[in-house]
Structure 1
Amino acid sequence: MHFVWSSFVFTIIAFLILYWLLNRYAFGPLFSVMEKRRELIKQQMDEAAQTRQQATQYVEEQKAALQQARKDAQDIIEQARQTSNSQTEQLLNQAKEESMRLKDEAARDIENEKNKAVAALRSEIGAVSVQIASKVLQKEVDANAQEQLVDNYLKDVGIRQ
C-alpha cells in the first residue's frame, strides 16, 4: 500500500472547505430550523402541561362546587322537613285549641240552657204552687182529697205516675 501525501492533503483541504461551506450554508440554517422546532415542541409541551394543570384545577373546582350543591340541597331538604314538622305541630296545636274552645263554648251553652230550664221550671213550679195554694185555700180537703188534687196538678204540668 502506498500512501500519497498529496492526495491526503488535498482530501483534508477539500474536507475542511466542505465542512466550512456546510457549516456556513447548510448546518446553520438546519440547526436554526431544528432549534426553532425544539423551541416550538418545548412551548407546546409547556402549554399542554399548563392546560392539564388548569383542567385538573377546573375538575377540582367542579368537584367542590358539586359537593357544595349537594350540601345546599341537603340543607334545603332538612329545612323543608323542619318547616313541615313545625307547621304540622302548629296546625295540631291550633286544632286542639279550637276543639277546646268549641268544647268550652258547648259546655257554657249547656250550662246556660240548663239554667234557663231550671229558671223556667222554677217559674212553672211557682205558678203551679200558687194555683195549688189557691185551690187548697178555696176548699179544705182531707188527706185523700189533697193527694188526688196534687195528682191532678201533676198531670196538668205533664208529669204522670
Structure 2
Amino acid sequence: MHFYSEFLTLGAVGGLRTADMIFTLVSFIVLLALLKKFAWGPLMDVMEKREEYVKDEIETAEKNRKEAEIASKEATAQLRQTKEEAQKIIDDARNTGKQEEQKIIQTAREEATRLKEAAEADIQNEKEKAIQALQDQVASLSVLIASKVIEKEISAQDQEKLISEYIKEVGEER
C-alpha cells in the first residue's frame, strides 16, 4: 500500500497528487463526452427546433401583418368607393327630386292656366247668355210697350211714365 501511496504522490507538487489530477481530468473528459452525447446534442436539437419555431412564428406574424395591411388598404378603398357611390346616389336623388319638383310646378301652372281659360270661357258664355236673355226681354218688353202705346194714345207724361216702368221692370228681372 505504501507503494501505491508513493505512486500516487509521485511527482506531487506542493502537496497535489498527480494521480488525482489525472483521474479528475479523465473523469471530466468522460463526463464532457457523455454530456455532449446525451445532453448537449438533444439540447441543441431542442434549441434549433425552438429557433425554427420562433423564426416561423415571426415569418407568419410578418405575413399576417402584411395581409392585414393590404386588407386595411382594400377596406379603406372600398369604404371610399362606397362613400362616393352613396354621395352619387344622394346627388342623383336630389337632382331627380328637383326635376320632379319642376315637373309638378309646370304641370300645376299648365292646369291653372287651363282652368283660368276655361273659367274665362264660361264667364264669356254666361255673359253672352245674359246679354241674349236681356235682349230677348228688351224685345218682349218693347213689343209690350208698343202694344200698350198702340192701345192708347199717350201723352208725353204717360210716355215718360211707361219708360220708367220699363226700366224698372228690366232692373227687377236681372
> Is this a same-fold pair by TM over 0.5?
yes
- Residue 38 of structure 1 corresponds to 51
Return the alpha-carbon distance in structure 2 between the equivalents of residues 129 and 81 of structure 1: 70
Match of 1:122 among 135, 160, 168: 135
- Residue 90 of structure 1 corresponds to 103
Query: TM-score if structure 2 supplies the norm length?
Result: 0.71
Return the alpha-carbon distance in structure 1 between the equivalents of residues 30 and 42 of structure 2: 18
Amino acid aligned to 1:42 = K
- Deviation of residue 54 (structure 1)? 1.4
Relative distance call for 1:17 and 1:158 in structure 2 (3 A) is closer
- Deviation of residue 117 (structure 1)? 0.3
Identical columns (%): 42
CA RMSD of aligned residues (A): 3.0
Return the alpha-carbon distance in structure 2 between the equivalents of residues 149 and 32 of structure 1: 145
Match of 1:105 among 109, 112, 118: 118
- Deviation of residue 143 (structure 1)? 5.5
- Residue 75 of structure 1 corresponds to 88
Return the alpha-carbon distance in structure 2 between the equivalents of residues 76 and 104 of structure 1: 41
Relative distance call for 1:152 and 1:30 in structure 2 (3 A) is closer
How many residues get paired?
155
Amino acid aligned to 1:63 = T
Return the alpha-carbon distance in structure 2 between the equivalents of residues 116 and 48 of structure 1: 99
- Deviation of residue 121 (structure 1)? 0.5
Q: Is the 8 A contact 2:141 2:166 kept in 1?
A: yes
Return the alpha-carbon distance in structure 2 between the equivalents of residues 91 and 98 of structure 1: 10
- Deviation of residue 140 (structure 1)? 4.4
* Greater CA drift, 149-158 or 39-48: 149-158
- Residue 70 of structure 2 corresponds to 57
Runs of 5+ consecutive residues of structure 2 not aligned to the other structure = 1-21
Runs of 5+ consecutive residues of structure 1 not aligned to the other structure = 1-8
- Residue 6 of structure 1 corresponds to none
Return the alpha-carbon distance in structure 2 between the equivalents of residues 126 and 61 of structure 1: 95
- Deviation of residue 148 (structure 1)? 4.3
